[in-house]
Structure 1
Amino acid sequence: MPAHAGIHMPYFGRNPDEGHVMKFAVIGGTGLIGSQVVKNLNAAGHEAVPHSQSTGVDVITGQGLDEAVAGADVLVNLTNSPTFDDASPAFFRTSMDNLLAAAQRGGVGHFVILSIVGVDQVPELDYYRAKALQEEILAAGPVPYSIVRATQFMEFIDDVMTWTADDDTVRLPATPIQPIAAKDVAAAVAEVAAGAPVRGIHNIAGPEVFPLDELGRITLSHKGDDRTVVTDPTAGMFAAVKGDVLTDKSAHLAPTRYTDWLS
């Protein structure tokens, strides 16, 4: 199935005036993406409820899951592993097994997750292997599903630079990156969740591709930071990425450009 099959932006599923207000359980609904997904769905006339550990829902122990999904048409899972290391596969296996079981018990008709463009192309990274496992568990499960894969969030570029920075330099590889704004990711997740299950993958990406080192220079320049970006093919997590697998020119392209987002 094409990555962008049947998806047209911005459309929020069934029209509320058809007499059916869809109900959404958004697990991880208080985070960066989840909070905006909830807001978008409610603004479109649906009923979206955020759930997280702070609301008494625990995807690892299963506490509160049945109550969270009761009566929901759609389950959106935006929870994330607390670590990016070799403990992350266990998090996704346990959480997905618990969520799928609760979704099946609750009669949920559509299960949506957010993943990463190219996630199955970087087996060297524990976290990417874990996210690929999450996709596999969902696809093999009993509930009709959609996987939304996004490119790297603009909001995370600062964090990426801190991994390999000192007082004078920031070391970054020239890995091609296609940054997307979190608000555009949230809009796409809400839109896919409100539609029919894709039963496959829907890719979304920012409108421009940059080498990561160049993205670092643009970011520092905008902030008036006089540190130097040194191109280092061994620096940081993205050093493990081969070629341009984290980009997708055939994806649905979001509108926000990086320099506009910085401003």
Structure 2
Amino acid sequence: MKIVVFGGTGLIGSQVVRLLGEAGHEAVAQSPSTGVNTVTGAGLADALAGADVVVDVTNSPSFAPDDVMEFFQKSTGNLLAAERAAGVRHHVALSVVGAERSPQSTYLPAKVAQEKLIAASGVPYTVVKATQFFEFLGAIADSATDGDTVHIAPVAFQPIASADVARAVADAAVAAPVNGTVETAGPDRMRFDEAIRDALAAKGDPRKVVADPAATYFGQVQTDETIVPIGDYRPGAIHLADWRAAQA
């Protein structure tokens, strides 16, 4: 199959392209660096020529709420329109577990809007929803830092390795469309504040992590069900402790 991966040069996309290529598929990475712009539509028609499947793992370059919403609505709308014209048979997109449970988030409502566009498009689809990546724990700590203190809610947290996310996306791309969502999360459930505390300690970071029930994540107050799977999900294979040891 010819599978075109938009956002194919990024953290997830580059791994998806590699996995699909190793499985014998024609996997093509597209991004603004390859001359294709999903927001303006430039280069889309040529990029989709002969494509059987499209994988969308693009992300907004700005996390300002209005910018994020504009990005996902324009980018996704342009992609889906071009796919309909090209006769693409399966659209696979990456989203976030619990996005629909975070209406006050500065980022996740845009992912919900993206999912709705996909579901209404008429293009057969699969949305893979993942939890937070191991690779982003440091950035999460930075976003919650006030002076030398990091405020994190003591709620359920189930991060995942980007390699496991890429595998789930690649598997979805070669399977039949589910016309719905599939969720994936790491193999271990822990407490959000404890995970961030351990991540900083592993790097010798002296910041103090405070368990703060009022702390928000991307603007959303958290509960034990906000950012973890509630129903069935695909567990990742890589444990956080093993991933951390490999990084060291």
- TM bin, normalised by shorter chain, reads over 0.9
* Paired residues of 2:92 and 2:126 also in contact (CA < 8 A): yes
- 1:115-139 Cα shifts (integer Å, max 9, x gaps): 0111111100131110001000000
Paired residue secondary structure (1:126): coil
Instruction: Provide the residue aligned with 1:244 in structure 2.
Output: 225
Partner secondary structure for residue 64 of structure 2: coil
User: 2:57 matched to 1:78?
Assistant: yes
Q: CA deviation at 1:98?
A: 0.6
**Count of matched residue positions in the alignment of Structure 1 and Structure 2:** 242
Residue number in structure 1 paired with 2:110: 130
The aligned counterpart of 2:214 is: 234
Letter in 1 for 2:221: A
| Structure 2 counterpart of 1:243, one-letter code | D
Tell whether 2:11 aligns with 1:29.
Answer: no
Give the aligned partner of residue 260 of structure 1. Answer: 242
Please list every run of 5 or more consecutive structure 1 residues that lacks an aligned counterpart in the other structure: 1-21
Query: What is the DSSP-based 3-state SS (H/G/I as helix, E as strand, rest coil) of the residue aligned with 2:92?
Result: strand
Counterpart of 1:200, as a letter, is G
Task: Give, as a single letter, the amino acid of the residue that structure 2 aligns with 1:64.
Answer: G
Counterpart in the other structure of 1:40: 19
Quick one: distance in 2 between partners of 1:207 and 1:224? 25
Alignment of 1:100-111 (within 5 A): 100-111=80-91
Superposed, which structure 2 residues align to 1:189-208 within 5 Å? 189-208=169-188
Tell me how large the CA RMSD over aligned residues is. 1.4
Secondary structure at the residue paired with 1:234? Answer: coil
Secondary structure of residue in 2 paired with 1:262: helix
**Relative contact order: is structure 1 or structure 2 higher (C-alpha 8 Å, sep ≥ 6)?**
1
Distance of 1:241 and 1:116 partners within structure 2: 15
Aligned 1:149-164 pairs, distance under 5 A = 149-164=129-144
Partner Cα separation in structure 2 for residue 94 and residue 164 of structure 1:
30
Residue 220 of structure 1: SS of its match in structure 2? helix
Equivalent-residue separation in structure 2 for 1:227 and 1:128 (angstroms): 27
Q: Deviations over 1:71-113 (max 9, x none)?
A: 0100111111122232211211111111011101111000000
**Distance (Å, rounded) in 2 between the aligned partners of 1:179 and 1:166:** 23
TM-score (norm 2): 0.93
TM-score in terms of structure 1 length: 0.88
Which 10-residue stretch deviates more, 108-117 or 158-167?
Answer: 158-167
Between the aligned partners of 1:151 and 1:79, the Cα distance in structure 2 is 16
1:224 shift after superposition: 2.5
Identity in percent:
47
Distance 1:192 1:53 in 2: 24
Flag the 1:42–1:83 CA change in 2: closer, same or farther, 3 A: same
Asked whether the 8 Å contact 2:153–2:222 carries over to 1, the reply is no
Aligned letter for 1:204? T
After TM superposition, the structure 1 stretch with the greater mean CA deviation from structure 2, 182-191 or 157-166, is 157-166
Contact 1:163/1:236 (8 A) holds in 2: no
* Counterpart in the other structure of 1:185: 165
> In structure 2, how many angstroms separate the alpha carbons of the residues matched to 1:93 and 1:224?
41
2:216·2:222 contact (CA, 8 Å) conserved in 1? no
8 Å contact from structure 2 (residues 138, 200) kept in 1: no
Q: Which amino acid aligns with 2:224?
A: G
